[in-house]
Structure 1
Amino acid sequence: MSTTTTSPTPESEGPPRAGRLIHNESTMEIPVHLLFRDDPDPEPVPASPVVVGRRQDTGEQPFLPLRDGREAPRFRRPVAAKARPAVRVDPELVERPARVLPGVAGVLAGVCGMAGCVANSWWAGVLPPLAVHALRLPGDAGAGLGPVQWAGYAGAGALGLFGFGGLARGRTGRAWVLGLFGRYRGTVRRTGLMWVNPLLLRRRVDVRLRHWRSEPMQAADGNGVALRVVVLVVWRVRDTARAVLGVEDHETYLRECVEAALAQVPVEPPGGARGSVEAAGDALTRLVAADAAPVGLEVFSVRPVRVEYAPEVAAAMHRRRIAALDAQQRAGMLASVVDSVEDTVTRLTVRGLVELDDYERKALVKDLTVAFCAGRGEQGP
């Protein structure tokens, strides 16, 4: 009898490997980077006392130093939004009256220039005999056209052109902004005939009370629904110097101010309360007046005169409004029917006309409700 001795499996080899499930399988090594490896511990950092402090230079949140001396991340306090910078125009650009003369001065200067030309022509002997006889002048001097005569022509002609060329007519509600070589020289608000230096550049400005009805502009209500709003702006030019020279086109500037205000103020949609519409108009007036005042414009009112939904949401909002009105009408009709049924049942029972138990009462209420609803439906809204 032979005894078979089995050698023990070494502990280093581990448990025996199971048999292959697939006969042609092979084993290969795949490198794997583990997230947590048994790395040697770093050098210990001596513990330091925890110090909580606040920066002296800034009013930030308290900071907490880490063990290695670095500061832990902290949250900063929310910073308030900066105020919108106010619109500023050149402070020296302020309307002031220009120096002008009455129109009589220009007429006299022009007449003197023409008289000088006639006298110079008579002196040179080039005046026609018919004109000499008509003006009852003595015979021609016959001096001829020399340098002196040409100088006389130049002076008299310049005086006549300067006198007649400076005549201007001022109208009520209109003003002239005068400038010379790019410099503001004053504003003329006078009416009637006057004389203005013909070398000055004139720009006509309408200073009357004006109203402007805008085209449909984009706006939104309190819920962000797109609207198309037509506003009526009542305004006038108060400072002609700033309106003409402080901005490129004051009318375009005013239009853009209205558009910017409509983007900030919610407008009540069609069918809203009257008080909300007036509140929106007051808010629009304040915003537009504050933006237009630095450029010499005075805005009295900005009022929405027509409010409608944008084309892309008009159909949906119309259906929504009809559904709300229908639901409101149904709720009112139901309340009226319930009141009528209650009144009918109460009168029947109080007067002792009928004696009803709970089942009969419920049946009577049901029949009366159906009858009243059918009658209201046939009568229509």
Structure 2
Amino acid sequence: MTEPPSRAVPVRVRRHADGIAMDDLFRSAPGAGRPRDDTPRAGTDHPFAGASTPPRRHPPADAELVERPGPAAPGWLAVLTGAAALGSAAALLWQVRPVRAAHLLPWEWAALACLGALAVVCFGGLTRGRTGSAWVLSLFGRYRGSVRRTGLVWISPFVLRRRMDVRLRHWRSEPIAAVDAEGSALRVVVLVVWSVRDTARALYAVDDHLGYLREQVEAATARVLSQLPADAFQGGAPTLRNAEAVGDALTRLLSAECRPVGVAVFSAQPTRIEYAPEVAAAMHRRQLAVLDARHRESVLTGVIDAVDDTVTRLTSRGLVELDDFERQALVKDLTVAFCTRRGDLPRPNEE
């Protein structure tokens, strides 16, 4: 009995306008499991739903420019080898000293030269590997590998060594100039937590990976903040005051932009979003006006509800019988009384 062929389940891949799938943003991220896809989707209540900016396309990186282990050996092995070479040279000189110390044979000179060169290479290649740093090796301008060993380590003295910090680092930006969706000038301070993940690309793919990170922070901040207004003066629309949503969008964008140069961005959070000095006063007056209008609206709503409840109870219980004129007069008197008691709204006849 043959089994029925399995049905192929179609997989729908979400793509941006430039043809980049959102799943590609996490395809090269390290880790055992697949990262959670926090990409906002259209139709959800996420503040950046339908307005996320895809990462730019980068030129293809050199396939050989990927971090790999460099040639290195434990330091104690180099120390023992150098000591053995010096000991062998000393033993050879001790044997020939009583007879012909000043007239060594050619092979003896060659042996001494080789032993001396071996000792120089062994002791000259000793260095110290620090926790949180790596040695990037190059020979004649070509990348030869990276060494992340700690403690005493031996690296060939014929290669060029450059130390690079691979610890988790944080950087606080200076106030960055940006504009929101309504064109209002803003000043934003961003805190970025990052580290160097690929030392080869961080050193050779760009001239200065820290400068590249700073430029990308400014560009990503300008792109993300231009999608929403800083404040919603009318209605309850999403704004940039949702620091968590803004930070998630910045983190995704910066992570995608910095991955080709070997820099991993773990978090990018705005620590301060404020209006620029030239528009701060006007926006402050606008905020006060909106707050005052909302307060008056809430007070007026409460007064109307109280008047309606009072009139309804009086008439439903048969305490009073009112015609239309008397009802209007009672509503007016109750409204004036409630407003006067609260002191928040002017009287109806007050000019």
TM-score by length of 1: 0.64
Unaligned runs of 5+ in 2: 1-54, 233-237, 346-351
Residue 156 of structure 1: how far off its partner (Å) = 5.2
Aligned ranges 1:143-292 → 2 under 5 Å? 143-144=101-102, 157-266=116-225, 269=230, 277-292=243-258
Structure 1 residues 154, 325: closer, same or farther in 2, change over 3 A?
same
Aligned ranges 1:1-381 → 2 under 5 Å? 85-112=57-84, 114-115=86-87, 143-144=101-102, 157-266=116-225, 269=230, 277-377=243-343
Deviation by residue 1:64-107 (Cα, 9 ceiling, x = unmatched): xxxxxxxxxxxxxxxxxxx9652333222122211212212321
Look at both structures and tell me which one has the larger radius of gyration over its CA atoms.
1
Q: What is the root-mean-square deviation of aligned Cα atoms in Å?
A: 3.2
Unaligned runs of 5+ in 1: 1-82, 126-139
Answer whether contact 2:231 2:241 (CA < 8 A) is retained.
no
Structure 1 residues 117, 377: closer, same or farther in 2, change over 3 A?
farther
Separation (CA, whole Å) in 1 of partners of 2:291 and 2:70: 64
Kindly tell me the number of residue pairs found equivalent between the two proteins.
Answer: 283
TM-score by length of 2: 0.69
Structure 1 residues 210, 84: closer, same or farther in 2, change over 3 A?
closer
Residue 357 of structure 1: how far off its partner (Å) = 3.4
Separation (CA, whole Å) in 1 of partners of 2:104 and 2:279: 85
Separation (CA, whole Å) in 2 of partners of 1:161 and 1:270: 69
Separation (CA, whole Å) in 2 of partners of 1:161 and 1:86: 45
Separation (CA, whole Å) in 1 of partners of 2:207 and 2:186: 30
Separation (CA, whole Å) in 2 of partners of 1:85 and 1:378: 57
Answer whether contact 1:109 1:164 (CA < 8 A) is retained.
no
Secondary structure of residue in 1 paired with 2:292: helix
Paired residue type of 2:220 = A
Structure 1 residues 276, 152: closer, same or farther in 2, change over 3 A?
same
Residue 250 of structure 1: how far off its partner (Å) = 0.9
Answer whether contact 2:181 2:229 (CA < 8 A) is retained.
yes
Answer whether contact 2:188 2:270 (CA < 8 A) is retained.
yes
Structure 1 residues 87, 319: closer, same or farther in 2, change over 3 A?
farther
Which structure's relative contact order is higher, taking Cα pairs within 8 Å and 6+ residues apart?
2
Answer whether contact 1:96 1:187 (CA < 8 A) is retained.
yes
Answer whether contact 1:230 1:305 (CA < 8 A) is retained.
yes
Answer whether contact 2:137 2:144 (CA < 8 A) is retained.
yes
Separation (CA, whole Å) in 1 of partners of 2:85 and 2:309: 104
Paired residue type of 1:102 = P
Separation (CA, whole Å) in 1 of partners of 2:337 and 2:103: 119
Aligned residues with identical type, % of pairs: 59
Separation (CA, whole Å) in 2 of partners of 1:210 and 1:229: 20
Residue 143 of structure 1: how far off its partner (Å) = 3.3
Separation (CA, whole Å) in 2 of partners of 1:326 and 1:145: 106
Residue 279 of structure 1: how far off its partner (Å) = 3.7
